[in-house]
């Protein structure tokens, strides 16, 4: 089965283990994965999500 390259808010939020509302808030604040707009629809590429996760990793010193 072919995986979708572009994810909508619902699918991207699922991948990130957050709610779609939380993802919308991150986008609004400018602290979310890069978005791709097609018409009025907003999508997130899997590659951009992976890059965003890597950039936001924090090493815990517990």
Q: What gap in Å lies between CA 36 and CA 48, rounded to an integer?
A: 10
Question: What mean pLDDT do residues 37-48 have?
Answer: 97
Confidence of residue 61 (pLDDT cuts 50, 70, 90): confident
Cβ-based burial of 28 (10 A; exposed 0-12, middle 13-18, buried ≥19):
exposed
Confidence of residue 3 (pLDDT cuts 50, 70, 90): confident
Mean pLDDT, all residues of the chain = 94
* pLDDT over 80 at 2, yes or no: no
Q: Is the alpha carbon torsion for 20, 3, 32, 39 positive or negative?
A: negative
> pLDDT per residue over 6-28, tens digit each?
999 999 999 999 999 999 999 99
* pLDDT over 70 at 1, yes or no: no
Show the tokens assigned to 61: 């010193």
């Amino acid at each position: 089965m072919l995986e979708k390259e572009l994810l909508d808010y619902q699918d991207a939020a699922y991948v990130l283990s957050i709610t779609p509302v939380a993802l919308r808030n991150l986008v609004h604040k400018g602290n979310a994965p890069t978005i791709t707009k097609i018409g009025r629809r907003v999508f997130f590429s899997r590659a951009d999500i992976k890059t965003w996760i890597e950039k936001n990793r924090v090493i815990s010193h517990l």
